[in-house]
Chain A
């Protein structure tokens, strides 16, 4: 089950759209679990964005999780991530690979010219994919294609390529439940 927790206000139809698309992409149940808040301690040093890694680690929620449940947090706040070897790049979410929590933001979708619900659903599918150990995919139509590449806006439909779909299915089947 993919449990969605909203950290900002979203129209109900947007959350519903995201939930349905997640269900379609992974063949798993997906539902709105409730609302929450990003911990203020996760704000980065420049006070301009939330550190996604910290936000997930410090998130205080009481969502009851079962064996293979995944939590997806949705927000509209800008996110950032620790600096890596290439410096800082665009961050539209973060996922704990092969674990249970991911966060995706709707921030910056307007600049890409993608409708809110579609862009958010695609990002959600991307980060949930990382929870199932999926890596980035070169196919621009796949939801696992990096979000900053031109493929994101060019192919807004939320679908996994066959390779990613089969891999996710294998992982889901191997799950403890």
Chain B
């Protein structure tokens, strides 16, 4: 089915078998060869890549190699410019979510190094103003993942060191400098809406053994994230989304939790309908199973009453 070709020319000729390349949105890959694959009765010349992160094989039609944005891993000079860019504070994030989404999607699809940097930097600046909505949080994490991988590959340093350095630029610690210029130390971001609402952050470990409290605590910041997803440009008040998020968690059939004052308060509204629903189900099920004959009677009575009432009114 597949045959390997000799001395292949890949893309514009700058790529060779064995090169480390960056596949847009996938990360660092190594070109393992060029093969001719028979797919649907046609012969396709495909470039095979192996993703370094997990060894997954990626096959790209040879004619599309340059079109999809496959490129070599950046050199050290480019990484240096990346850090210059990261160390420059971004105080003006794009607030229009439509424009931001379109721009970020284009940058990530393009697969350029500086496009990824701009995505990360823009979302980072936005996160200093308010929590990111879930999709952008995911994008932020992807951009960070790709950038950390490329920095590590380019500089030949461990991933951990690469990420720490990236954040020395984004969240400069005290005394951090870049090319002799002191960077302003990171400040604490604004409290999330959940915190302003007075929700207790304690993990409530006593309950964690049963499996409950830890879920309640982190849900609070995330609830705020969800709320922002619904309407990106409108800042919503904290309590409403927090309650909204708590509801599905409380419905989980896990016993014995909720000791915390904050979370208990939060839980009240969500519990109320659940409790009401439970007896209603019982009432409906019991007669049906044990006394099927009685089931008809109550059904008739209300009907009769309703008739009577209706007559009376007339």
- Give the contacting residue for B214; candidates A24, A82, A139; CB below 8 A: A24
CA distance A108 to B87 in the complex (A): 26
- Give the contacting residue for B137; candidates A130, A159, A163; CB below 8 A: A163
> Contacts A91-B164, A159-B217, A162-B219; is A150 near B205 (CB within 8 Å)?
no
Is A172 interfacial (CB-CB < 8 Å)?
A: no
Q: Is the CB of B83 within 8 A of A140?
A: no
- Give the contacting residue for B134; candidates A130, A142, A163; CB below 8 A: A163
Contact with A along B149-163 (1 / 0, CB 8 A): 001000101111111
How far does the Cβ of B89 sit from chain A's closest Cβ, in whole Å? 15
List A contacts of B187 (CB < 8 A).
150
List B contacts of A53 (CB < 8 A).
158, 161
- Give the contacting residue for B201; candidates A97, A141, A146, A149; CB below 8 A: A141
List A contacts of B124 (CB < 8 A).
138
Q: Is the CB of B158 within 8 A of A82?
A: yes
Q: Is the CB of B202 within 8 A of A151?
A: no
Within 8 A of A (CB), among B88-134: 124, 127-128, 131-132, 134
- Give the contacting residue for A146; candidates B53, B141, B151, B171; CB below 8 A: B171
Q: Is the CB of A81 within 8 A of B201?
A: no
CA distance A161 to B134 in the complex (A): 12
Is A15 interfacial (CB-CB < 8 Å)?
A: no
Name the CB-closest residue of A to B217: A159
Q: Is the CB of B83 within 8 A of A85?
A: yes
List B contacts of A150 (CB < 8 A).
186-188
List B contacts of A89 (CB < 8 A).
164-165, 168, 173, 176
> Contacts A84-B165, A157-B203, A159-B201; is A138 near B140 (CB within 8 Å)?
yes
Q: Is the CB of A167 within 8 A of B222?
A: no
Within 8 A of A (CB), among B186-219: 186-189, 192, 195, 201-203, 205, 208, 211, 214, 217-219
List A contacts of B161 (CB < 8 A).
53, 81-82, 84
List A contacts of B168 (CB < 8 A).
84, 86-87, 89
List A contacts of B222 (CB < 8 A).
161-163
For the complex, count residues of A whose C-beta is within 8 A of B. Answer: 45
Name the CB-closest residue of A to B169: A86
Q: Is the CB of A151 within 8 A of B189?
A: yes
Q: Is the CB of B186 within 8 A of A135?
A: no
Is A2 interfacial (CB-CB < 8 Å)?
A: no
How far does the Cβ of B215 sit from chain A's closest Cβ, in whole Å? 8
CA distance A139 to B220 in the complex (A): 12
Is A21 interfacial (CB-CB < 8 Å)?
A: yes
Q: Is the CB of A85 within 8 A of B79?
A: yes
Within 8 A of B (CB), among A109-159: 130, 135-136, 138-142, 146, 148-151, 154-155, 157-159
Contact with A along B173-193 (1 / 0, CB 8 A): 110111000000011110010
How far does the Cβ of A25 sit from chain B's closest Cβ, in whole Å? 7
Q: Is the CB of A140 within 8 A of B159?
A: no
Between A87, A94, A161, the greatest number of chain B beta carbons within 10 A of the residue's beta carbon is seen for: A161
How far does the Cβ of A83 sit from chain B's closest Cβ, in whole Å? 9
Known pairs A84-B168, A159-B203, A160-B218. 6 more at Cβ < 8 A?
Answer: A84-B155, A90-B173, A98-B53, A130-B160, A146-B164, A148-B173
Of the A-B pairs whose beta carbons lie under 8 Å apart in the complex, a sample of 8, sorted by A's number, is: A82-B158, A82-B161, A84-B155, A86-B168, A87-B168, A97-B159, A139-B192, A148-B186
Closest 8 CB pairs of A and B: A162-B222, A84-B165, A86-B168, A24-B208, A148-B173, A138-B127, A97-B159, A150-B188
Interface residues of A (CB under 8 A from B): 20-21, 23-25, 27, 53, 81-82, 84-87, 89-91, 94-98, 130, 135-136, 138-142, 146, 148-151, 154-155, 157-163, 165, 167
